[in-house]
Structure 1
Amino acid sequence: MDTPPDTVVVGRIGRPHGVRGEATVEVRTDDPDDRFVPGAVLLTDPAARGPLTVAGARWHREVLLLAFEGYHSREDVETLRDTLLEVPVADLPELEDPESFYDHQLVGLAARLADGAPLGTVTAVRHEGAELLVVSRDGGRELLVPFVAAIVPTVDLAGGFVVVDPPEGLLDL
């Protein structure tokens, strides 16, 4: 398994909103109201942008809008489009539930069937109403696996694998 990352992505800056320097943000964290508070300092990828300090945050319908210190116009914010917002892994709070995991802990784990047969590698976690593990299989095919205990009964971070016990037909999709 690869070395764990030093940072984890919590959002991606999208298009500007309005003319006063707000940007839409694609949220990639479970706790956006805690993560994106005014004064929060977020690392960026590409890192050449340097850290960004949140100057304001508000929800517009279902979309998070952020303003950053030093970015006051639509044109300023446009230069940030597609920048990933990151936080150091060390800054993440410990999860209280032993059955809960951060996405970065799951990415890179080997996926195997209950009988030990290799299935592929977890390459991403998607949050689309339900959590889905994206498992890359031989030949470049991707398999979406619902991340529920009935289908993924074992997550062994120390061992570097997850066990997938798929219902009939899941592997044929």
Structure 2
Amino acid sequence: MKKVLILSGLAMTSLAYSQGILIVNNYSKYDFSGTLIAGSTSAANGCYPRVGNTDIVKIPADSHTGNGKELMYKDYQSQFTNSLYPTTTWEVYQNPLNHTVMSWDDPNLAPGGTISTTTQWYATKFSTSLLEFHANLALITPCNPNSMDTYTTPSGNEFAEIFTINGTTYLQLYSL
């Protein structure tokens, strides 16, 4: 009985730290071009591993859940066949000096595997069409205590934000 409780607890802990879903809603009039990043949010393990797309993801203007054109990644692997904006390869950093490029179907990126259960979507580096705006956004975590989770344009308008609700991370760009 004790072993069952321990295994159940470990399974629940793994699920609690799984990468979750990423949804990018681009309500703006600008095309989004950028990198989407997942990683460990625990300073205890040096904030690694970290995972990011190797090719720039492009999301057209006015692409969001309201019209069914949002970017949605449920995990590193299924996004390739289920997303409107698939990523073919991921750059995986195990530490600052050791990284590997992995194909979307690499077994190391499988749902329930070590990488997917120890990383969460938390950041983006992006620019918009015509280079109107560019920013780095990240959730504020022990690994990113001084991050910006919103981007405000020089004219004072909030343009982008990143946040998490019930394990789903949202990146939203707004019209000005």
Query: What is the TM-score normalised by the length of structure 1?
Result: 0.29
Q: RCO higher in 1 or 2 (8 Å CA, sep ≥ 6)?
A: 2
Larger radius of gyration: 1
Query: What is the TM-score normalised by the length of structure 2?
Result: 0.29
